[in-house]
Each structure stands twice: as structure tokens, then as C-alpha cells.
Structure 1
Amino acid sequence: MPKRAALLAAVALTLTACTSTPEKPTVAQGGEDFGKATQLSNGFGTTQKPGEFPRTVKHAMGETKLEKKPERVIVLDTGELDNVVALGIKPVGIAYTDGSPTMPSYIGEKGGTPENVGTTNNLNLEAITKLNPDLILGSQLRAEALYPKLSAIAPTVFSVRPGYVWKENFLLNAAALDRQADAAKMLEDYTNKAVETGAAIEKKLGVRPTVTALRFMPGRIRLYAKKSFIGTILVDAKIPQPSPSQVDDLAAEVSAEEIGKADADFVVYSTYGDPAKTAQASVLGGPLWSGLNAVKGGKAKPVQDETYFLGLGVLAANVVLDDLKKQLGA
């Protein structure tokens, strides 16, 4: 039996049908290395020339050798999904988030019909093995403890974490897929679009309005800040956030009684998962919410969680820019 086939068979025999990732927060806020993700990502990628295989890819868990250009790719989070689809690849397997367990509508048919391999917090290693992947893409934050088992199944490349380092993650994934030039061009186009979007909004409104990105989650309410996906988009478009959201972190957490901190010229808000499991209904139906200037002015708008907060890639970022123009009336 060939060495790889024997290894896959051994892995399949030793894995339970569903293996849970050791408990970690759905989104890691703060922490010792949170603000270092960009620095830690420096040097990730490959020194091989386009089209050159085998190639070695440096990433968050070390180095991974790819013998050939990957064709059967499994993605373990929404950022990796966005990245591979942007590069013209339909993954064979996917781990969805608990709060959004289906193909994002903004990706739709472009994502194909990948097999479900569990969720980001509860990977099914047997399902991953059966798909016979030749590349697994994920992050250290989500599945660090499972990396040895995943890399025994197929070459595995991990970013440090999802979120505000989405551009670095895109380039890392592209290095493994031999599509670095395509990714670089997409990021350049995105940057230009962000600048143009901010300018169009300012031209229409006469000012760059402040925008709060508010998210209701089970047990918490967040004002997303600079080191978040939506935060980076607002920064790139030079659209300011009000002071409560200007922390150098993922988000500022507030209570229902502190919802006044969400006030801005515009508020965009969404819910992670089932709204009934969050404080959304009580907050939106309460007097503090109705007293916000943005609400009184008709400038508090619901948005898609799957793009503004879960997209984590260039496709979602472009959708968010288009939607921001719409929501802000530009």
C-alpha cells in the first residue's frame, strides 16, 4: 500500500467520527498575542517562483511542503472559504461557523457544493479524511490542538487567526495555491475601491460620517473596533468611528444599559446566529435605543452578518463597501 494511502487509513481508524476542538472563544478578543498577529504573519508564504512545485510554505505552525498544486482543498473557516473562492477554487470540504451553518449568500454558487466537515469549533476529522484532500486551510486560533492530526491527513497551512489580518491570510492561502499574483491584484483593486467609496460618501454627504458597527451575540453586545474585519474596511475607506469604537482591539463590549455608546452618524448592526439567543429584541425595543440620534434620524440600519462580520475576505470586503455606499446614501 502506498505510504500516503496507508497513512490515511491509519488516521481514519484512529479518529472518532466527530472530534471537538478544545474549547476556545468563538472570537478571541484581546489576549497576549492578539495585537501581534500582523507581526507574527510577517514572512509567511513561499520563496518558490510561480508554478514551481514542490514548494514549502511558511505559516503559523511552521513549514509545510506541497508536492504539487492543490486541487482538493478543505477550508476550516469563512475567511479561507472567501479566499479560495476569490481565487477561482471550489473547496471539496468546509467547516461552517455555528452562527451561519450554510454557504454565504454573497458567495452562492461560486462556492460549489462542498461536503460539511463539522463546524469551526467542532471539526469532523473522519469526514475530512474521507475527502482525500491535498490541502487544508485554517488558523492557529481555531484548531491549533488539531494541527498534528490534520497535517497527518494532508498538507495543512494555518494563519495566526482570522479577522483583522485577513489580507495577510489571503496572501498566505494564495501562496499555497500558487496564485499570489492574483491575490495581490485583488487586494490592490480592493484598496482603490475603498478609497473611492470613502470619497464618494464624502462627496454626497459633504462629510465623512462616523459609523458604528454593532453586533448582537449570545451573552454580549459588541462595538467592533479597529482590529476587526469591518474595522479595517472603515479605516481603508477613511470612514471614522466614534470614540467608543476607536480602541486598538477587536471590539468594545457594552451592556444593554450602555447602548448609548453605539451612537454615531450611522449605525450598522447585525446578529450572530439566532437573534432570540441575544439581547437584540430587548435593546431595539427599548427607550435607550430609540433615543439614539442615529435611530431618530433613520440612520440605524440592519446589515448582513455573513459579510460585515463573518466574511473575512476580499469578496466580502467588496460587498461591504458596496453596501456601505447604499446604507449611507451615497
Structure 2
Amino acid sequence: MLKSLFTSALLGSALVLGMTGLTTAREITHAMGVTEVPDAPQRIVMLTNEGTEALLYIGVVPVGAVQSWDADPWYAHVADALKDTVPLGFENAVNLEVLASLEPDLIIGNKVRQEKIYDQLSAIAPTVFAEDLSGSWKDNLALYSRTVGKEAEGQKALADFDARAAALAAAVGPALEEQLSLVRFSPGRTRIYYKDTFAGGILAQIGFKRPPAQDRDEFAEEVQKERIPDMAGDRIFYFSADADPDEAKANLADWTSDPLWLNLEAVKAGKAQRVSELVWNTGGGIYCANMLLDELAVIYGVPTPTAN
């Protein structure tokens, strides 16, 4: 069944190209090589959450997209825009049969998540992969916008974000000297987040410092409780599952009641703050990046930054 869907989709695309004679293509260099894509793709499938945010932000609604993490199927801030989009499973478990049935003319994914199924995807439609996730959302947005033929819109989106980040930095002023710590509490795994993360990269762009133990151009490190002292900073921003399922809530309570945690100077000063995991981590795209700037403005008591 799956093989026949792949074949039908591939032959269908070829037939359309051959009959119309009007479709032109461009070459896109990406993580898996060079792929010829349509100049104006009409049926785009997106296989990462941050990529879905990127497409929507530049005015492109995918016909299919992977489901939002911890949502059924979409995060609230993108749900209206995706009301007609078909969910395709999760980033690490894409439903290929449903994807093929959509007869896409372009598929966009990520090497980290879908490298093993790249050949299968490419048999359905031209497929372009970004190289990485973590702190790469801006590079990825530039690739996506170029791939779908909206490079100018992508450049404006990034320029506007950069202007907002610069405005926030100017408003925060001397507080940029604060060393900010990032921690994620998950059941069975607690990690310190370093600079090559979604939130870490944005904090670095604004100009915030990181504690010496976290000043690393890496993603994250899983730690045990004896490493709680490495979570120290002038401020600690931590996140856990926003919906507070019982297992996550119990894990968070266990860590934040530990004597080592309670002895951290930021905790004693009331500067250890829980923030939205969606905004600071799992959303991972330009909508959440802008929401993170808004949250920081509230935390530091400065005006919401604008792009002008």
C-alpha cells in the first residue's frame, strides 16, 4: 500500500509537469545535497514544529505538518492558521502513508529528525532538509523561505526580530550583565541548557551573559542532583511540561525542594523563575522567539520591543 502511494504521488507529479510545461524549478542546496524544487510550490508539507512556525509567519500554510509537541494536534498560537492542515504524526514518527496521500509538490524536513526516511520522502516529492535544530532556527527560516520562493519575506521576518532584540537590549541596559541560567526539568531527565539551544541563542543575541559553568557552545547536558550548583546564576529560568502532568509535577517538586537547589543564591533571592516550555524550548520557531522577547520585557519591566 505504502509503495503504491509513493509511486502514484511521484507519477502524478511528473504528469503535471509534463502536461503543463509551465512549471519552472530552482536548485536548493541543503543538508542532504542539491534538490530541484518548484518555483512556486502549492502543496507543501513541513516536518518540524519550528518550520511550521516559519512557513506561517511568511504567509505559507502547509497542506500537511507534523503535530505540535504536547498538543492535539496544534499549539494554540498556530491552531487557527492550521485548521485545514492535515497532521502527520510527530517529528520523530512521520506518517508516510498520509503524507503521500496529500500529493505534495514539496517536502521540508530536518536531518536530525528524519535522515533515515529521506529517500522515502524524496520518492514522493522534492525534499529539502535543514541541517540541525537546537539553536539553528534563524538559519532554518532563511532556508525555508528561500525554498518556498519567499526569500524577501523571510529576510524581513528575521530583520524585524533582530530589531526587536536590539531594542530589548537597549531597554534592559546594565541588566545585560546578569548571568542567566537555563534548566529543563523532565521526568527521568534533568538538563542544563547551554548556548546552542533555542533560548540560549536568543539570550546570547540580546547580549545576556551565562554563568561560567554554562558558557559553552553546546546544546545541553543531562545532570544528577550533585550538579545543582552548576545551575547557579544571577537569575535562573527553568521550564517543565506546561500542562503539569502528574509525573512532571512530581519530578519538578522533587528537584526544587532539594537542599542544594534551595541554597542557590538566585533561589534565595526570589530570582529563580519558571517560564513557558513552549516559548522557551519546544515551539522553537519565530513566533515563540518573539514571544520570548515579550516575556523578557515583562520580567525586566521594560516596554515591549518593536521592530521600528
TM-score tier by shorter-chain length is 0.7 to 0.9
Deviation at 1:218, TM superposition (A): 3.8
The 2-side partners of 1:130 and 1:84 are apart by: 21
Kept in 1, the 8 Å contact 2:183–2:191? The answer is: yes
**Matched residue, 1:238:** 207
**Matched residue, 1:56:** 27
Kept in 2, the 8 Å contact 1:60–1:158? The answer is: yes
Q: Give the 5 Å matches for 1:1-330.
A: 7-8=7-8, 53-96=24-67, 99-100=70-71, 102-202=73-173, 205=175, 208-272=177-241, 274=245, 276-277=247-248, 279-330=251-302
Unmatched segments (≥5 aa) in structure 1: 12-51
* CA 5–127 in structure 1, closer or farther in 2 if over 3 Å, else same: closer
* CA 212–100 in structure 1, closer or farther in 2 if over 3 Å, else same: farther
**Residues 107-157 of structure 1, C-alpha deviation per residue, up to 9 Å, x if partnerless?**
342344421111111111001011221211111111111011111111111
**Residues 226-283 of structure 1, C-alpha deviation per residue, up to 9 Å, x if partnerless?**
1111111011100111112111211233212322221212111112585615732210
* CA 75–6 in structure 1, closer or farther in 2 if over 3 Å, else same: closer
Deviation at 1:219, TM superposition (A): 2.8
Alignment root-mean-square deviation, CA:
2.4
**Matched residue, 2:306:** none
SS at match of 2:41: coil
SS at match of 1:306: helix
The 1-side partners of 2:66 and 2:183 are apart by: 25
Kept in 1, the 8 Å contact 2:68–2:74? The answer is: no
* CA 106–299 in structure 1, closer or farther in 2 if over 3 Å, else same: farther
**Residues 54-90 of structure 1, C-alpha deviation per residue, up to 9 Å, x if partnerless?**
1111111112212341122211111111110111112
1:241 is matched by which residue type in structure 2? R
Deviation at 1:99, TM superposition (A): 4.5
- With normalisation by structure 1, the TM-score equals 0.79
Kept in 2, the 8 Å contact 1:106–1:316? The answer is: no
Deviation at 1:175, TM superposition (A): 1.0
**Residues 274-329 of structure 1, C-alpha deviation per residue, up to 9 Å, x if partnerless?**
56157322102322222222222222221111221122222221111111121233
* CA 254–329 in structure 1, closer or farther in 2 if over 3 Å, else same: farther
SS at match of 1:309: helix
2:221 is matched by which residue type in structure 1? A
Kept in 1, the 8 Å contact 2:73–2:87? The answer is: no
The 2-side partners of 1:275 and 1:178 are apart by: 45
2:59 is matched by which residue type in structure 1? G
The 2-side partners of 1:270 and 1:175 are apart by: 33
SS at match of 1:216: strand
SS at match of 2:282: coil
SS at match of 2:177: coil
The 2-side partners of 1:104 and 1:65 are apart by: 32
Deviation at 1:101, TM superposition (A): 5.2
* CA 177–292 in structure 1, closer or farther in 2 if over 3 Å, else same: same
Report sequence identity in percent: 31
- With normalisation by structure 2, the TM-score equals 0.84
The 2-side partners of 1:201 and 1:110 are apart by: 33
* CA 201–313 in structure 1, closer or farther in 2 if over 3 Å, else same: same
| Structure with the largest fraction of helix | 2
* CA 208–202 in structure 1, closer or farther in 2 if over 3 Å, else same: farther
Kept in 1, the 8 Å contact 2:38–2:105? The answer is: no
